[in-house]
Structure 1
Amino acid sequence: MKKTVMLFGMVVMLLTALSAALADRGESNNNGKNPNEFKLGVEVLLGDQKHLIEGKRVGLITNPTGVDQELNSIVDMLYNDPNVELTALYGPEHGVRGNAQAGEYVEFYIDETTGLPVYSLYGQTRKPTPEMLENVDVLLFDIQDVGTRFYTYIYTMAYAMEAAAENDKEFIVLDRPNPLGGQKVEGPVLDPAYASFVGNYPIPLRHGMTVGELAQLFNEEFDIGADLTVVEMEGWNRNMYYDDTRLEFVLPSPNMPTLDTALVYPGAALIEGTNISEGRGTTKPFELIGAPFVNSTEFAAALNELELPGVIFRAASFTPTTSKHSGVLSHGVQIHVTNKQAYKPIETGLHIVKTLHDMYPENFQFRAENSAGISFFDNLIGNGWIREAIENGVSVQEMENQWKAGLNEFKQIRREYLLY
């Protein structure tokens, strides 16, 4: 009897130890690091590197994504810190508080909470003027990017770096994760002839870099010459998507409400260069694609027949409340990403555009060309030849083959600036 009790006790002890070990493993991320060790750049700055800003007048470029892991605003943290002198705020597209729609002009104003001046970098100028920097020694940049070339915050950063260099101001980037991970690099590299505020440098559509890494690349490769410091994250590695961290997803802009939106955005946003709705004015922007003249069942079937990796398409109808086809019932698809590692957003986006073009030749249109013969689609994709290729019946595979050499060249340059 005693032997049975002893044996039972040993089994219980082993099971307890095994359970504890499994629990410990469950607390680990892909690389065996405890997510509790993860720190954003802002947390590293205020915890270990506050000397970078102490005794200096600080100007802050941020928006609602500028929060720590407890969702405390960097504006409030700096303003309420007795050892930090926060003197000015600067807002990108959509503003510091994120309440302006895409492309909406943002005015100068006084922040109600802090009483600080808020200078718009999406108003009369997209680059801080010397007058905007008079009361500043160092500029801080803390904004969540979404990993796509045509998302404008990275160019707000670059213009601010130029202004810092020209006015002898320090520039500090507080790094944040790339929501799409830091490994995959996809799509054509932008042709400088098609540079705009939705693509100002020759980088691919999915660049696979953090804002801190991009800041270093912009600074060196494009001769900005800013006095640049990147405050790195701790505990982030390149194979981590946003949901591999414990971060809450704070929408970076009004039409980027979820991580699912960010996943499809690099390809689905190409629809913005056409007369098809990209789902603005719905609860699923960039996931819903359609127009009044589309047959949703046939369109979904055509896309699913392609058997694209990591994605399926559901026939869907919707009525946008704003933007294209506002108030008009539209038909199309909802994009459902089933495997984010396998999913290829740019390939998928081009197949969507090409299929719409081929199925509805009398109704589908690219956005009109400007005086230089450039369509907004060209600005988004970063060249003029892909639009011509779609119109001439060239396959998506042939397009990918054509941009491969430029993409491989960028990958080599990119290696020099990776921090993680």
Structure 2
Amino acid sequence: MTKNRWLRCLSSLVLLCTLTAAGGADLGLAKDKKNNHAVQTGIERLLENPQILKGKKVGLITNPTGVTVDLTHDVDALLEKNINLVAVYGPEHGIRGTEQAGSAPGTYEDPKTGLPFYNLYGKTPQEIAPIFSDVDVILFDIQDVGSRFYTYISTMAYAMKAAALQDKPFIVLDRPNPIGGVKVEGPVLDPDYQSFVGIYPIPVRHGMTVGELAVLFNEQFLEKELGKKANLEIVQMKGWKRDMQYDETGLPWVLPSPNMPTPETALVYPGNCLFEGTNLSEGRGTTRPFELIGAPYIKGWEIADRMNRLDLPGVSFREAYFNPTFSKHAGINVGGLQLYVTDRDGYDPIRTALTIMVELKKQYPNDFAWRSDNWIDKLMGTDKIRKAIDKGASVDEIIADWQGGLKAFQQLRKSYLLYR
């Protein structure tokens, strides 16, 4: 081989390697390894076989996250398949996702499709049941974020009860748990603290999909409460694995609610949502909700330095200052922290949040306070954590106290896992 020919071959090899590193789009080469494991959601699988809905009047519980992989909304996708969709129902924040926490629009006619849009948020199962009277089957397709106090799973449970009262089939179109289906963390809810942010005794981070939760709720609770179970069916995903984070699914992220802009928000949410129960801002009214934590009395450099010295696994802290546009401390400059998750596998959101609370209680004993309505107890599902922090307990002592209940739940959940 001549020297020039050898150099041309070498140049071609370099070009081939460069294109491969860039994705190989022009050469038809294999895509990134993660994309080979793209997940097919329940709605995608249903649309492959829509005949199961043939001849039925269909009701759909959804919000902006109810989309196909090409971002077609469920409403449009079902209508394109000539499914007789007659009603659409929404959870907190509304079907279009326009409302802030604790709000939902009322019933109205959708200007695009002419379909009636009903609000389910704030209604009991007995109040929801009549709203289902004109449909033959109810579909549920909403992206959850993996935390007990995110209210979409409560809406699902209430809707399942309402469907059971009306003897209507209830079909859950399953979606990934965006923070994975392996880790189970936090205290199991004490039934004495049952509320819409915690209706059943599961831990803060449950590690289950909505489909798995639906089966657990149906088998463990609905029959005891109603004397009957829902006629439940799960359209399972294809390709989802329990250790997947959301960016490994190949699915587009649509905001589940106005303050859940990214999958990274969902990752910190099981811990940092707990600051709703304090006088600190949890970052609502900023572009980084639940990643920013602060209050007017906090010196950011003090708490950031202290937290970084503790060397918690999988997370680092930056002193941060922000001015929320709404919610707590709106229009006021506050100091605090921004969290940076450096290792998703090592990071424990609940331990991290508790550690921040304990340290703030030490540094600002006269300023740090709980919300007057003890909202922290509803979020935690118990009053033990609040009382333990007030008594000066360590984070290790607090976490050790809930391990018995957590282990019992881990054993219980094994029977309801649809993806092994």
Is TM-score (shorter-chain normalized) higher than 0.5? yes
Equivalent AA in structure 2 for residue 228 of structure 1? L
Q: In the aligned structure 2, how far is the partner of 1:128 from the partner of 1:140?
A: 18
Contact 1:27 1:34 in 2 (8 A): yes
Q: In the aligned structure 2, how far is the partner of 1:9 from the partner of 1:323?
A: 63
Q: Which residue of 2 aligns with 1:122?
A: 121
Q: Which residue of 1 aligns with 2:152?
A: 153
The structure 2 residue matched to 1:328, chosen from 328, 332, 341, is 332
Q: In the aligned structure 2, how far is the partner of 1:415 from the partner of 1:160?
A: 24
Task: Give per-residue Cα distances to partners, 1:371-415, cap 9 Å, x unaligned.
Answer: xxxx11000011011100000011111111111111111001111
Contact 2:148 2:202 in 1 (8 A): yes
User: Is the partner of 2:128 in helix, strand or coil?
Assistant: coil
The structure 2 residue matched to 1:286, chosen from 274, 290, 293, is 290
User: Is the partner of 1:222 in helix, strand or coil?
Assistant: helix
Instruction: Tell me whether 1:42 sits opposite 2:43 in the alignment.
Output: yes
Task: Give per-residue Cα distances to partners, 1:82-113, cap 9 Å, x unaligned.
Answer: 2x100111110000000011012431111111
The structure 2 residue matched to 1:28, chosen from 19, 33, 43, is 33
User: Is the partner of 1:208 in helix, strand or coil?
Assistant: coil
Describe the shift of the 1:127–1:177 C-alpha distance in structure 2 as closer, same or farther (beyond 3 A): farther
Equivalent AA in structure 2 for residue 53 of structure 1? L
Q: Which residue of 1 aligns with 2:206?
A: 207
1:123-272 paired onto structure 2 within 5 Å:
123-125=122-124, 129-224=128-223, 225-272=229-276
Contact 1:294 1:330 in 2 (8 A): yes
Bigger mean CA deviation after superposition, 183-192 or 119-128: 119-128
User: Is the partner of 1:201 in helix, strand or coil?
Assistant: coil
- Count of aligned residue pairs for this structure pair: 409
Please tell me the root mean square deviation across aligned C-alpha atoms, in Å. Answer: 2.4
Q: In the aligned structure 1, how far is the partner of 2:418 from the partner of 2:117?
A: 31
C-alpha deviation, 1:57, in angstroms: 0.7
Task: Give per-residue Cα distances to partners, 1:18-63, cap 9 Å, x unaligned.
Answer: x98997775323xxx8235x3111000011x323222111000000
Contact 2:133 2:166 in 1 (8 A): no
User: Is the partner of 2:402 in helix, strand or coil?
Assistant: helix
Q: Which residue of 2 aligns with 1:96?
A: 95
Q: In the aligned structure 2, how far is the partner of 1:85 from the partner of 1:211?
A: 25
User: Is the partner of 2:344 in helix, strand or coil?
Assistant: coil
Q: Identity of aligned pairs, percent?
A: 55
1:242-391 paired onto structure 2 within 5 Å:
242-369=246-373, 375-391=374-390
Contact 2:293 2:336 in 1 (8 A): yes
Q: Which residue of 1 aligns with 2:59?
A: 59
Q: In the aligned structure 2, how far is the partner of 1:41 from the partner of 1:28?
A: 23
Contact 1:126 1:156 in 2 (8 A): no
C-alpha deviation, 1:79, in angstroms: 2.3
Contact 2:193 2:382 in 1 (8 A): yes
Task: Give per-residue Cα distances to partners, 1:284-327, cap 9 Å, x unaligned.
Answer: 11111000110100011111111111000100000001011010
Q: In the aligned structure 1, how far is the partner of 2:52 from the partner of 2:276?
A: 41
Contact 2:323 2:332 in 1 (8 A): yes
Gaps of 5+ in 2: 224-228
C-alpha deviation, 1:368, in angstroms: 1.3
User: Is the partner of 1:34 in helix, strand or coil?
Assistant: helix
Equivalent AA in structure 2 for residue 204 of structure 1? P
Bigger mean CA deviation after superposition, 130-139 or 146-155: 130-139
Contact 2:186 2:203 in 1 (8 A): yes
User: Is the partner of 1:87 in helix, strand or coil?
Assistant: strand
Contact 1:121 1:127 in 2 (8 A): no
Contact 1:79 1:114 in 2 (8 A): no
User: Is the partner of 2:339 in helix, strand or coil?
Assistant: strand
Q: In the aligned structure 2, how far is the partner of 1:128 from the partner of 1:45?
A: 29
C-alpha deviation, 1:114, in angstroms: 1.2
C-alpha deviation, 1:340, in angstroms: 1.0
Q: Which residue of 1 aligns with 2:68?
A: 68
Contact 1:127 1:160 in 2 (8 A): no
Equivalent AA in structure 2 for residue 226 of structure 1? A
Gaps of 5+ in 1: 370-374
Q: Which residue of 1 aligns with 2:226?
A: none
C-alpha deviation, 1:126, in angstroms: 6.3
C-alpha deviation, 1:81, in angstroms: 2.3
